[in-house]
Structure formats: structure tokens, C-alpha cells
Structure 1
Amino acid sequence: MSALDYVTGPALEQGHDVVLYAPGMFRREARRRGVEFRRAGADWTCDVAVQQAASEVWSKSGNVPFNRYVFGRLWPDQAEAKARDLIAAWTRARPDLVIAECSDLGAHLAARVLDLPVFAADNGLGPVLLDLWDGDIAPALACLHKQYGQDTAVLPAMLTPAPVQWFYSTPPPSARAVRRTVAEFGSALPQWLDDGFSSARPLVYVSLGTLTTAMAGLRTVIGSVYREIMAALCDIGCEAVVSAGDLAPDLRSADPRIRVVEHVPQPALVRRADLFVTHGGRASLLDAVQGATPVLGMGVLADQPGNVAGFARRGLGRTLELTATRGEIADAMTAILGNPRYEAAVTAADAELSQLPPLDVMQLRDCGDAQDGFGLASRPGSRIHVNEMELHDPWQ
């Protein structure tokens, strides 16, 4: 749910009732954020067969065919079930505003069928979806939209938690950049981490995401990348925290300066780090900016390769291929650590990010009314329905 914190957090603070409609796997995360939960859609992305097929496409054919298969085929195939659940739920309890992940195609359709104001919340997949929309996604949704008496599928007006030009060469339809917020529980380090760092050595934080370690077809590849990174860390005389998810038990460090863990509160740790080695998911890169920490990007799939390339062009760090060797990784880390131009660039980016306006739910709802003519009553305590597709941060 971290991909929607910039929506749910402000909505709760402004006194609105927020309901998350998502598969059951998100129930705990909704509770941690004080958000009401309603089950909708299926946990289909957790299916081992689905993950295996997707990872095989990536391994054999590369990232572009992977994106077309996952987001141009699998995602549209699942839209009907989500739309059916939401139409039934929203007929019983009509929301004042729907904010759906940009990849939640079923929620977009359900909102159109019921004439509800809807915005797409960019979860990092916006650039991928725009690239695939006309050639893959819209045609794949044509029959479903016709079934519900709707015209050609279109992406709703987009909310994005960063300056639009950071991730888009061509802005998405009606893009609105808003200030990024993170959940409060991600802002504090555990005591065992907070007390254990030496100020005499640089601190490097490493994380290559969660999906890559969960998918059997990618696990071996990513495990090898982690081992090369850890070998490079041993060579440069730093301290490091390696957050490797399910792979953590398989990654043993002989160097006491390198700690391997399953998970950490990333926003808090990035603020302490001098360098972030990352797969380049949108949330991770924005965590780095808000922590004023340069990045070494090693993009894996989906939007990640494009994200890290864009950050390198902006001077916020460097990029390497997943096939980089121990020596190449060590050289790149050394080139970034202590280089004032990277620190200055990421500090400037943090200032730019912090200047974005906060999300104003009433203004957003009124904008939806004016744009689409829904004429809902304007009042505090509006019921905001937020929709999460079956995967969030992992695909980032």
C-alpha cells in the first residue's frame, strides 16, 4: 500500500472516511494505516504459475516483452472480476470520490459504469501503461467495456507524487503532481539499527525490491546480483545494510560491517544512508530523494530501467546493468560516495519535491464534479474509496 500513502494519508488527515477495496493480502496493511478495508478482486498475482510464466518471459525475452505480457495482457484479463466486485459494492454504498491505482483497470471501469468521479493514482507504472495503452491495453479491454455499455477505455486523469517531468517524457492526461507522504511507521528506525552505525564510515543501503525475490524465475538472477554487490561492499570499506526479503537467509555475510536483513523501514534507513543501491522502483527512488541520498540504480523490470536511467540523467546517481561485476559495482559506489555533485543534485531534487502542493481531497472531488458533471454534495467527511490492484510495490 505504500504506493497509495500519498493519497490515503492526506485523505485521513482531512477528516474523510477512506475505504480500501483490494484483495485480502492488503487487509493488514490497511489496518496499519487506519484505513477501512473491503475485499475486492483476487490475489491472482500471488499464483505461482502466473509468477513463473511472467519471469520466464523476462528471462528469455527481456523487459519490453515482459511489460507487454504482464501489463498489456494479464492485467486487462483480470479487470472483469475487479469491476464486478466494485460495481456491486458501490451500488450498495456509493462513494463521493474514487482514487484508483493507475493499473487498476477494473476500478476505472466500475467508476465509469456508475458515473463516479475517478482519478488514477500513479503507482510507478504510469509510463509503462501509457506506452502500452493504444496498442495493447485499450484493445484488450474493448470487449469488456462494450459488455458494460462503455466506449473505448481511457486512463483517468492522473495523480503523481513527483514533478511530472521526472518520470514522463510525455505528460499523462491531465496530470496533477501532488506532495508525497509516507506512512508514519516507516519513519523510525528500529533501535538495533539506530545504535549500530559508525559515523566514521559511509553507510550503504541495498534493496532490489520484493517481487524479484518472491518470483522463482527471478530469484536465482537476483541472488547472484546481491552476492556481487556484497562482494563489492567488502572492497570499499563501508558499513552496509542489505534488505533482501525472502533471499536474506541465503545471503550470509562474513563481514560484520555488512548486515543482511529481510526488511527494514526503508524511508527511515535511506535518510541515514550515504548511498542507496536500488532496483529503481518509483517509491524507492522517491524515498532516496526525500532522504537526500544518491542512488546506484540497477533496474530489473517494468518501469525500473527507465526510472534509474532518468535519475542518472538528472545527476542523482549512476546506473549499472544487472550483469555488472564486483569490480564495476565497487567502482560505481566509490565514484558516488563523497562526491559533492551527487549530494547537491539530490538535495536540490528534495527541495523541488517538497514544493509540490499537498493533495486536497475536496478540491480534487470538486474538480471531478466540474469536469464530469457529477454534482455531488460538497462536505467534509466525504467517503473516499481507494483501490489497490493485486500487486503494488513489488512491480515497482
Structure 2
Amino acid sequence: MTSRAHIAMFSIAAHGHVNPSLEVIRELVARGHRVTYAIPPAFAEKVAGTGAEPKLWNSTLPGPDADPDAWGSTLLDNVEPFLADAIQALPQLIEAYEGDEPDLVLHDITSYPARVLAHRWGVPAVSLSPNLVAWEGYEQEVGEPMWEEPLKTERGQAYYARFRAWLTENGITMHPDDFSGRPARSLVLIPKALQPNADRVDETTYTFVGACQGDRSAEGEWERPADAEKVVLVSLGSSFTKQPAFYRECVRAFGDLPGWHLVLQVGRHVDPAELGEIPGNVEVRSWVPQLAILRQADLFVTHAGAGGSQEGLATATPMIAVPQAVDQFGNADLLQALGVARKLLTEEATAEALRTTALALVDDSEAARRLEEIQAEMAREGGTRRAADLIEAELAAARRA
């Protein structure tokens, strides 16, 4: 047993970034460590439920229930708010931890202040990545082409200049790309099956511990209707849910389909009235206990976010992937390549295409076989307990140094 330590976790107020870390935090608390969790107030209650102590700070990012349009549409629209938020958050976090510095920093990939603070305090930092990580060659294959055009603009150059100046001011000489994308140590909270070019990932830095899902009973239960021969869950996650036209196609695809029951999560930005008449075999919710439903479902229509994708794999549920943004397109391609999903772009996801794809997929024995194989591989990755073991190993190594 590693002696009791103060471990500080840092994240942003976004479900897809906070949720994957919670079971790891709960396990560290159960092992006797004091864990603080720096988080905006919207997630204070959820964090406190793990036994960690919330350290509150105010963020300038769109909140967890913000309209997706608030994030903008271009690369610079997406990255500038994170840098601006980091710069204004750092003084708040310095003050919050004054006289209460931790022995080790854990941080989500979006938490730039965490690495700065670890540097200031002289303590190890471990990234908890809720999605794919960089492989050898990533910068040349993905990063440089993606930034080629933005870097020709005054705005793109100003972004990098501001990032470099902030790092320099805090005694860090790393390039901004390495600072944000190349952690010293990372635990990857997705199964290796979801990592592109997994054979080119440096496993001295990155360790795949897989899904850390834990007991989700607090989120509520769900009971499969007794007369349902097939259950399909449709969910586009928590951020990119403003898709009433797509939801209408889902109702057309599965409503009144004999023997089928549709659970349709529409998020907070769609009024069910926009969907027209709802058949009796369709339940429309703003939010659902996703994992509880997937454990009983026959099909998952998902945006292919990292969290949803791994929950589909962990429950061996075949998927129709309808990606909406960022890494979801790559995840959808990967799931299809694994043989466990079919990809449909939003404009292709008509009622007819959804129904045809669904009927074929739920009867696909090869997809079922692959799902069972991947589910077993994920179980061997170790999940929550292995993540906590590795964090304690980092603590022990730091104490020996």
C-alpha cells in the first residue's frame, strides 16, 4: 500500500472529460488518499460524490448545457477558448492551492493550467486521456496538415504567439503543440481497440487501461419493456444534440417497427414537440442512464464519441455511428473497421437507411463475435484498479527520486 498522499485532479466542466475520470478518483479515495478536484461549480456535486474535495474555479468556456453553436465551427474557434480559459484560470488555481500543494497532479487533456502548476510545484503530472492519443508520426500526418492554413493567417499566428508567451512566462520552454499533446505520462481511459495506429503509440508514456465505468446505479435504472423483441438506443451524447431533423428520421425508422422499442435521447436543446406524433413504442427523453440501457439493448445509434463508443464495446452492443464533430468521424471509421458498427453521415441517415442498416446489423453474427472478442480484451486491460495502481506507482517513484 502506497502511503497516503494528496493527489490533485484538474478538468473542465464537460461531461465527456469529467465522467471518464470519476471512477479512478473514487478508487484513489477508497485507497486512503486525499484527492482534491479542481472543477467549475457545475460539476462540484458530481465530483463530491466520489469522496474528492472540489476546488472550485470559474471558467469562461461554454457550460455543459450550452448550445453547441457556442463552440464555433473552425479549428481556431475551437482552440482559442481553451487557451483563454487556461490563462484566466491559472491565477484562480494558484490561489486555491496556496499552502495546499499536492504530491501529484492528475489532469484531463484540456487542462493546460495543471501542467503549469505541476511544473511550478515540482511534482509529477499524469494525464488521464478520455480519447485517442498521439502516435509516432501524428504531428506530420495529422497536426501539420490541420494547421497548415490557419498558420498562414494573422489570427493563427497570434494564437501561437500568445500560447508561447504564456508558457515562457511560467518557465516552460516546450512548444505549445508538445505541451498540449505530448504529456510526460498518460493513462488512456479508452480501450486500445479504439486507438488509431495503436502499434505506433509509445507505451513507455501511454498506458491503455480501458474503460473505467464503475457502478452507475446512481444515474438511475431502466427496465426493458416485456414485449420488446429488439431495443435500440439513440444518443448523440451531451454536446452535439441539436439535431431535430435526425431525430425525426429515427422516429420514422423505428416507430411502429414490429417488435422494436426505441429509446431516443434528444438533449436539452430539442423540444419533443418538434418531432411530431410519437408512436407508442418510442420513449423520448432529454437524458437517459445510458449504460443501464446499453446493458439491455440490441443496437446503439451513437455519435461515436469516445465515451459512447467504449460503452457500446463494453456492453457488446452493435452500433450505427453517426458522427457529429471532432474525433467522432475517426472513431466511426475505426468502429466500422473493427466490424462492430456501420457508419452513416448525418445527411445519409434517412429513416430508410437507418432501418435497413439496423435490421442487417442486429442479425450479423460476425459483428456479434467481434464484439465479444473486444469485450474480453477490454476486461483484460484492467480499468479502474489498474489506473489507480499505476498512479500509486508514479507516487512511489517520485518519493524515491
TM beyond 0.5: yes
Confirm or deny: 8 A CA contact 1:232 1:326 kept in the other structure.
Answer: yes
Q: 1:356 and 2:381 equivalent? A: yes
AA aligned to 1:284 is G
Q: 1:89 and 2:111 equivalent? A: no
- Structure 2 CA distance, aligned partners of 1:195 and 1:326? 23
Determine which of 204, 220, 227 is the counterpart of 1:198: 227
Which structure carries more helix by proportion? 1
Counterpart in the other structure of 2:312: 288
Question: Deviation of residue 35 (structure 1)?
Answer: 2.6
Determine which of 147, 150, 153 is the counterpart of 2:169: 147
Confirm or deny: 8 A CA contact 2:68 2:240 kept in the other structure.
Answer: no
Residues 14 and 180 of structure 1: is their aligned pair in 2 closer, same or farther, counting only changes over 3 Å?
farther
Question: Deviation of residue 189 (structure 1)?
Answer: 5.2
Residues 48 and 292 of structure 1: is their aligned pair in 2 closer, same or farther, counting only changes over 3 Å?
closer
Counterpart in the other structure of 1:367: 394
Question: Deviation of residue 198 (structure 1)?
Answer: 2.3
Residues 253 and 110 of structure 1: is their aligned pair in 2 closer, same or farther, counting only changes over 3 Å?
farther
Query: Secondary structure of 1:46's partner?
Result: coil
Counterpart in the other structure of 2:19: 2
Confirm or deny: 8 A CA contact 1:10 1:359 kept in the other structure.
Answer: no
Counterpart in the other structure of 1:306: 330
Determine which of 347, 350, 356 is the counterpart of 1:331: 356
Which structure 1 segments of 5+ residues have no match?
A: 58-64, 214-218, 378-396
Greater relative contact order (Cα < 8 A, sep 6+)? 1
Question: Deviation of residue 281 (structure 1)?
Answer: 0.9
Please identify, of 11-20 and 168-177, the stretch whose mean Cα deviation from structure 2 is larger.
Answer: 168-177
Counterpart in the other structure of 2:30: 13
- Structure 2 CA distance, aligned partners of 1:316 and 1:179? 17
Confirm or deny: 8 A CA contact 1:113 1:150 kept in the other structure.
Answer: no
> TM-score under structure 1 normalisation?
0.80
- Describe how 1:4-83 pairs up with structure 2 within 5 A: 4-46=21-63, 52=69, 54-55=71-72, 57=73, 65=74, 67-71=75-79, 73-83=80-90
Confirm or deny: 8 A CA contact 2:132 2:195 kept in the other structure.
Answer: no
Q: Give the CA RMSD over aligned residues.
A: 2.9
Provide Cα deviations, 1:339-359, integer angstroms capped at 9, x if missing partner: 211111111111110101333
Residues 145 and 27 of structure 1: is their aligned pair in 2 closer, same or farther, counting only changes over 3 Å?
same
- Structure 2 CA distance, aligned partners of 1:111 and 1:196? 51
Which structure 2 segments of 5+ residues have no match?
A: 1-17, 148-155
Provide Cα deviations, 1:346-389, integer angstroms capped at 9, x if missing partner: 1111111010133353542443664xxx4379xxxxxxxxxxxx
Q: 1:249 and 2:272 equivalent? A: yes
- Structure 2 CA distance, aligned partners of 1:332 and 1:318? 7
Provide Cα deviations, 1:154-203, integer angstroms capped at 9, x if missing partner: 2322211234352232426711111422242347753xx4153425x111
Q: 1:258 and 2:282 equivalent? A: yes
Q: 1:181 and 2:212 equivalent? A: yes
- Structure 2 CA distance, aligned partners of 1:14 and 1:269? 30
> TM-score under structure 2 normalisation?
0.79
Confirm or deny: 8 A CA contact 1:281 1:307 kept in the other structure.
Answer: yes
Residues 278 and 354 of structure 1: is their aligned pair in 2 closer, same or farther, counting only changes over 3 Å?
same
Counterpart in the other structure of 1:394: none
Determine which of 237, 256, 259 is the counterpart of 1:209: 237
Question: Deviation of residue 124 (structure 1)?
Answer: 2.3
Counterpart in the other structure of 1:216: none
Counterpart in the other structure of 1:171: 201
Provide Cα deviations, 1:90-143, integer angstroms capped at 9, x if missing partner: 332111221100111121222122212111111226469975499578765211
Residues 243 and 298 of structure 1: is their aligned pair in 2 closer, same or farther, counting only changes over 3 Å?
same
Identity of aligned residues (%): 20
Question: Deviation of residue 89 (structure 1)?
Answer: 2.7
